[in-house]
A and B are shown apart, each in its own frame.
Chain A
Amino acid sequence: MAVVSHTPAARQRVERLDRIWRERPGLVGWLTTTDHKRIGLMYLFASLAFFAAGGVEALLVRTQLAAPQQGVLSPAAYNQVFTVHGVTMIFLFVIPISTGAFGNYLLPLMIGARDMAFPRLNALSFWIYAASGIFIYTGLALGHGPDAGWFDYVPLASRQFSPDSGIDFYALGLIFTGISSTAAAVNFVVTIFKLRAPGMSLNRMPLFCYAFLAVSFALIFALPALTLALVLLELDRRLGFHFFDVAQGGDPLLWQHLFWIFGHPEVYIIILPAFGIATSIIPTFTHRRMVAFPLVALAEILVVFIGFGVWVHHMFAVGLPTAITIAFAAASLVIVIPSAIQLFAWITTIVAGTPDFKTPLLWIVGFIVFFTIGGLTGIMFAAIPFDQQLTDSYFVVAHFHFVIFGAAVFPILGGLYYWFPKVSGRMYHERAGKISFWVTFAGTLATFFPMHILGLLGMPRRVYTYHHGLGWGGLNLLETLGSYLLAGGLLLVAANLAISLRRGPPAGDDPWGGDTLEWATTSPPPPYNYAVIPKVTSAYAMWDREDRVEDARRLERGELVLEQGHETPASTVLDAEWDEVLRMPPSSWAPLALAAAVSGIFAMLLLGHVLTATAFVALAAVVLLRWHSVEPQDT
């Protein structure tokens, strides 16, 4: 039930808001937008494009491995393809689609805000992300893709063994992406802290937002380790420094430590948005509140916190002292507890409620199944002898694909179905949606489950082929067929949504009886999100009917409409008491221009033109000065 009001005063206010918040038309509107929903959609389409690219790479890998001694890809091409597949799926697909697309589009809506805290910074995050993705793919297109695996271990990645520029594309490209992720994370935290609707104290904030708060903090504290590692690597490769070179006092294990100090929190950065999506979909389709709300909120934060103390379990086989490895093995077992709290809370909510297994909830059930499988194999790796036996085998590949594809991507796909009516204003095809789920589910099992067995049989990961007579051919063929089935399922999802975009029946504002605020506004939402800023009294704002009726009355009275410009309220951090009214910036060319200047810096660094790179730094400074010369009172 949306805010419906037909009095002339209310209509006038809505018309006034429409006029104030009107976006520039056409392509210019998209290039200069600072609207979180438009930026979210650009993130969505860009990350789906990279998903398609990463998917094609995965199919190439599977086709090459379908039978022994195949020649679809040369060994060199194979190395580039599997490396870029990993980099794409993690840095250019899962994180951007979950934080950039879902977070950007939904988070301000869920907290009753009209935009993110820093709208221009938000646009900058997107353009830098898009440019860094193109940067990395330029390397691949020129035949200089990175080829040392997504974790890029030295000495293989050092200049001596990888003289090609592929590793430089990787290192500079990931520093480049890191700028975007850091900016986005800062933006999310400030938005969550300061822009919540009046009354939405922290204990009334939806669990989805808790997940994004946790992810943002993880990004802020994890990315610097990766950035530093990449800078040191480039100093070694380009200027002849010796951070990773044993002969001159360096140490290759330094790379592994720095990488995994980032890399393990990264796993939770990937999976937590999926948890957030699950905690949105489950209450809506089981018609009851989440079980153990405070525990789930705490577990979301705790999983990130503990996630910073387990990185050495990626290095059990490198010969570290036993005392150290045992401590990290224990920490890796402890992290099971907050994960299990959430798992049991989801299951209990479904069992205790009255579940309606529509397509979005089906994807969440699939997610629970796969997260259980991937989680259980994860616990096995906390056992040091087990890890030492199976590290670098296909068992690891099975484990992390169940976690990343099964547990992180399934809720993303479920979320696409769940919020499709809100974003497009139309319904998808329910029956086709269920079919697409089952096809993808079967494809996922067939692709990744046999990898466990192959790992136990001794098949190593990252080999471009294998010999006849090892007994691996049958299972590999099954996996390859499974991957085609999986791709077919994903195409069904894409077709369903693409066709429904044109032909789907109108969805209305709240087709599901959803629990959070985004269902209170129209589908799709207007640029200002809410004609009247909602006031919130519980974590399930849409189920408080009285409050939403009161919103409509306030629109008639003109209370909390904020119609004097691009305005949104700011509130106190803990209790969300209304503090002041902020004016948000209008559309601007500055973010795109700054992203272009930063792209120039990285391109010139890659080519080794330090002087030209410095010129681009100066250009960026000029753009920044222009950026800050447009102040709120001038707009």
Chain B
Amino acid sequence: MSEVTRSSRAVGGAAVARVARARRTLPNGWWGMLLLAAAEATLFGTLVATYFYLRLQTSPWPPVGISPPSVTLPLALTAVLVATSAPMLAAARAARAGRRGAALRWITLATLVQGAYLAVQVALFLDDLSKFDPRQTAYGSVYFTLLGVHHAHVVVGLALNAGVLVRLLGGLTNYRVIGVRAVAMYWCFVNAAAVLVVLTQISPAL
């Protein structure tokens, strides 16, 4: 017990890697993000439940005049987004090992892919809006809300990436390593939620 790890003071790759190895439990920031993700996951769960609750009230679903959602493109996009979990986790791993350059590169790669994903999704969202209106039917209301809520989470994730990148440019510290780990976990949650959302979105066409 006399061996005190003053992890908050660790600055620079070597020191950061040393405190990461010495730590036996997960850091507070990791736990905090896990609990936030739990709350957000509940939000998505309730939203998907809302979708199917409304679906039970209406037949046919989607209502007459609205064509069923396309399947291939949303699924492919989701696969791309889910794949970005890998570079984010690699970035967290590199940061823990004190390799700042690798962490920066992995996060940049993930950000580019996630940004492209969001751009295509926004284009699809606007295209859908030109075909049917959230103010016409409950189907439209819940369809656009479901997708909009998830896209908002992607926007937040991109903002987190940007913040972490800016801080990492100034060097590696224990605080920033925990930040990278928390952001990586956030993306794992957003990507898992994307699967739930896309399966709900395309369910009428299956």
A contact set with B: CB distance below 8 Å? 117-118, 121, 182, 185-187, 189-190, 193-194, 198, 220-221, 223-225, 227-228, 231-232, 235-236, 239-243, 245, 248-251, 254, 257-258, 261, 559, 564, 567, 570-573, 577-583, 621, 624-625, 628-629, 631-633
Complex contact A248–B39 (CB within 8 A): no
Q: Which of B9, B22, B136 contacts A632 (CB 8 A)?
A: B9
Point out the residues of chain A lying under 8 angstroms from B140, CB to CB.
242
Complex contact A564–B35 (CB within 8 A): no
Question: How distant is the Cα of A482 from the Cα of B35 in the complex, in angstroms?
Answer: 44
Complex contact A243–B142 (CB within 8 A): yes
Chain B: interface residue total (CB-CB under 8 A): 52
Complex contact B58–A220 (CB within 8 A): no
Given contacts A189-B31, A220-B35, A224-B46, contact A251 B54 (CB under 8 A): yes
Complex contact B145–A241 (CB within 8 A): yes
Q: Which of A220, A235, A248 contacts B137 (CB 8 A)?
A: A248
Question: How distant is the Cα of A564 from the Cα of B134 in the complex, in angstroms?
Answer: 58
A242-B135, A572-B25 known; 7 new pairs, CB 8 Å cut-off, are A118-B28, A186-B39, A221-B42, A242-B138, A248-B138, A251-B54, A579-B23
Complex contact A250–B54 (CB within 8 A): yes
6 A-B contacts, Cβ less than 8 Å apart? A121-B32, A220-B35, A249-B58, A250-B54, A254-B53, A572-B24
Question: How distant is the Cα of A185 from the Cα of B42 in the complex, in angstroms?
Answer: 15
B4 contacts chain A at the CB level, 8 A cutoff? yes
Complex contact B8–A632 (CB within 8 A): yes
Point out the residues of chain B lying under 8 angstroms from A228, CB to CB.
43, 46-47, 50
Point out the residues of chain A lying under 8 angstroms from B22, CB to CB.
580
Complex contact A221–B8 (CB within 8 A): no
Contact digits for B115-143, partner A, Cβ 8 Å, 1 yes 0 no = 00000000000000000001111111110
Q: Which of B46, B138, B163 contacts A249 (CB 8 A)?
A: B138
Point out the residues of chain B lying under 8 angstroms from A220, CB to CB.
35, 38-39, 42
* Chain B residue nearest to A581 in the complex (CB): B6
B173 contacts chain A at the CB level, 8 A cutoff? yes
Question: How distant is the Cα of A624 from the Cα of B163 in the complex, in angstroms?
Answer: 9
Given contacts A243-B54, A624-B163, contact A578 B63 (CB under 8 A): no
| B135-180 contacts to A (CB < 8 Å) | 135-142, 145, 159, 163, 166-167, 173-176, 179
Question: How distant is the Cα of A198 from the Cα of B1 in the complex, in angstroms?
Answer: 10
Nearest CB of chain A from residue B184's CB, rounded to whole Å = 16
Q: Which of A249, A577, A578 contacts B139 (CB 8 A)?
A: A249
Complex contact B1–A258 (CB within 8 A): no
* Chain A residue nearest to B58 in the complex (CB): A249
* Chain A residue nearest to B53 in the complex (CB): A254
A118, A186, A624 — which one has the most chain B CB atoms within 10 A of its CB? A186
Point out the residues of chain B lying under 8 angstroms from A261, CB to CB.
46
Question: How distant is the Cα of A117 from the Cα of B26 in the complex, in angstroms?
Answer: 13
